[in-house]
Amino acid sequence: MSTVASGAVTIGVSGGRAASPALRLTLELDEERVVSSAAFPGDGPGVLEKLAEGHRYRDVPELFGRMGRDADVHAGTAFSMAVERSAAIDVPARAHWIRSLVLECGRVASHLSWLSAFAIDAGAGTASGRAAEIADRFYALLEAIGGNPGAHGYVVPGGVASDLPAGADEALSAASSALEDELPDLDRLLRGSRGLLARVQGVGVIDRDASLDCGLTGCSLRASGVGFDVRRDAPYAAYSDVEFEVALGTVGDCWDRYAVHVEEVRWSGRLIDRLLDGLPDGPCAAKVPKGLRLPAGEAYASVESPRGELGVHLISVGSGGPYRLRLRLPSYYNLGGIPEACRDSLFEDVPLIVSSLDIDVAEAGA
Amino acid sequence: MKGASGVDRLGAVMRSAGIKDAIVANEAALGLVARVGATRITDALGALRDDDHEMLVDLFATDTGSWLEITYHLRRLEDSHEVFVKTRADHGGAIPSACGIYPAALLAERDAAARLGMTFRGQPGGGLKAAAGGPPLLRKAVVIVPEPEGAAE
**Which residues in chain B are contacts of A335 at CB distance < 8 A?**
107, 128
* Residue predicted with more confidence, B33 or A67: B33
- What is the rounded average pLDDT for all residues in chain A? 90
Instruction: Judge: A51–B127 Cβ closer than 8 Å, yes or no.
Output: no
Please state, as a whole number, how many other Cβ atoms lie within 10 Å of the Cβ of residue B67: 14
Say which of B31, B126, B137 has its CB closest to residue A50: B137
Q: What is the pLDDT of residue B24?
A: 97
Q: Is there a contact between B144 and A50 if contact means CB atoms under 8 Å apart? A: yes
pLDDT at B21: 94
* Predicted pLDDT at A1: 43
Is residue A268 pLDDT above 60, yes or no?
A: yes
The predicted pLDDT at position A253 comes to 97
CA distance B62 to chain A (A): 7
Closest Cα in chain A, distance from residue B19 (Å): 24
Range from A95-109, A169-183, A222-236, B124-138 carrying the lowest mean pLDDT = B124-138
DSSP A44: T
Interface of B with A in 89-108 (CB under 8 A): 102-104, 106-108
Distances (CA, A) of A56 to A100, A230, A318, A319, B138: 26, 28, 12, 9, 18
Closest residue, chain B, to A40 (C-alpha): B129
| Confidence check: pLDDT of A18 > 70 | no
Model confidence pLDDT, tens digit, residues A144-156: 999 887 888 899 9
Interface pTM, i.e. ipTM? 0.93
Inter-CA distances, A22 with A71, A102, A267, A312, B16, Å: 17, 29, 33, 23, 45
Q: Are A132 and A108 in contact (CB under 8 A)?
A: no
Does residue B109 have a pLDDT over 50?
yes
In order, the DSSP letters of A87-130 are HT----HHHHHHHHHHHHHHHHHHHHHHHHHHHHHTT-HHHHHH
CA distance to partner chain A, nearest, from residue B15 (Å): 25
The pLDDT assigned to A151 comes to: 86
d(CA B101, CA B123): 11
pLDDT of B1 over the 60 cut: no
Instruction: Name which of B51, B80, B50 is nearest A300 in CA terms.
Output: B80
The CA-atom distances, in angstroms, between A299 and each of A51, A260, B71, B135 are 19, 31, 13, 28
Contacts of A292 (CB under 8 A, 6+ apart): A56, A57, A58, A83, A87, A157, A320
Residue A285 is given by DSSP the state B
- Give A21's pLDDT tier (boundaries 50, 70, 90): low
Q: What is the pLDDT of residues A190-220, one digit of tens each?
A: 888 777 888 899 999 999 999 999 999 999 9
Residue A188 makes CB contacts below 8 A (sequence gap 6+) with: none
Helix (H) or strand (E) holding A81: helix A72-87
3-state SS string over A320-354?
A: CCCCEEEEECHHHHHCCHHHHHHCCCEHHHHHHHH
| Residues of chain B positioned with their CB less than 8 A from the CB of A326 | 58, 60, 62, 71
Q: Please, are residues A164 and A285 in contact by the beta-carbon 8 Å criterion?
A: no
Q: Bigger pLDDT: B120 or A360?
A: B120
| Gap between the terminal Cα atoms of chain A | 23
Distance to chain B for A53, nearest Cα, Å: 9
pLDDT surpassing 50 at residue A8? no
Question: A306-357 pLDDT, tens per residue?
Answer: 999 999 999 999 999 999 999 999 999 999 999 999 999 998 898 899 999 9
Q: According to the model, what pLDDT value does residue B145 have? A: 72
Residue A20 is predicted with a pLDDT of 61
The mean per-residue pLDDT over the stretch A28-33 comes to: 88
> Percent of chain A scored above 90 by pLDDT?
71
Contact flag B128-A297 (C-beta cutoff 8 Å) = no
Average pLDDT for A110-134: 91
Predicted confidence (pLDDT) per residue in B9-29, tens digit:
999 999 999 999 999 999 989
Mutate to test the interface with B, among A84, A248, A298 (most CBs of B within 10 A): A298
Distance separating alpha carbons of residues A123 and A127, to the nearest angstrom: 9
Cβ contact A272:A235 at 8 Å? no
As a whole number of angstroms, the distance between CA A271 and CA A244 comes to 7
The minimal CB distance from A300 to the residues B73, B104, B126 is found for: B73
Other Cβ atoms within 10 Å of A168 Cβ, number: 18
Residue of A nearest to B63 (CA): A324
Give A283-297 pLDDT, tens digit per residue.
999 999 988 999 999
- Give Cα B72 to chain centroid, integer Å: 3
A118, A218, A263, A264, A304 from A223: Cα distances, Å: 15, 9, 11, 11, 15
Please say if the pLDDT value at position A7 is more than 60.
Answer: no
pLDDT above 50 (res A6): no
pLDDT higher than threshold 90 for residue A226: yes
Cross-chain Cβ contact A298/B27 below 8 Å: yes
Of B30, B62, B137, the CB nearest to A47: B137
Alpha-carbon A147 to chain mean position: 20
Q: Write the CA distances from A50 to A233, A328, A331, B62, integer angstroms.
A: 30, 14, 19, 11
From chain A residues 153-182, the ones with a CB under 8 A of any chain B CB are none
Q: How many CB pairs under 8 A join A and B?
A: 109
What pLDDT was estimated at residue A5? 43
- CA B34 to CA A349: how far, in whole Å? 44
Residues A274 and A268: beta-carbon distance below 8 Å: no
Q: Tell me the C-alpha to C-alpha distance, in Å, between residue A136 and each of A129, A149, B139.
A: 11, 9, 41
Round the average pLDDT of chain B to a whole number and report it: 90
In single-letter form, the type of residue at position A202 comes to G
How high is the pLDDT of residue A69?
83
Cβ contacts of A213 on chain B, cutoff 8 Å: 102-104
pLDDT tens string B36-90: 999 999 999 999 999 999 999 999 999 999 999 999 999 999 999 999 999 999 9
> Does the pLDDT of residue A142 top 90, yes or no?
yes
Q: Map chain B to HEC letters.
A: CCHHHHHHHHHHHHHHCCCCCCEEEEECCCEEEEECCHHHHHHHHHHHHHCCCCEEEEEEEEECCCCEEEEEEEEECCCCEEEEEEEEECCCCEEECCCCCCCCHHHHHHHHHHHHCCEEECCCCCCECCCCCCCCCCCCCCCCCCCCCCCCC
Q: With beta carbons less than 8 A apart as the criterion, state whether A346 and A32 touch.
A: yes
Instruction: Tell me which chain B residue has its CA closest to the CA of residue A315.
Output: B62
- B115 Cβ under 8 Å from any chain A Cβ: yes
Q: What percent of chain B has pLDDT over 90?
A: 76
Contact B128 A50 (CB under 8 A): no
Yes or no: say if A117 and A16 are a contact pair by the CB < 8 Å rule: yes
Each residue's pLDDT tens digit, A41-69: 666 778 889 999 989 998 898 888 888 88
Residue A13: which pLDDT band, with cuts at 50, 70 and 90? low
Instruction: Specify whether the CB–CB gap between A116 and A24 falls below 8 A.
Output: no
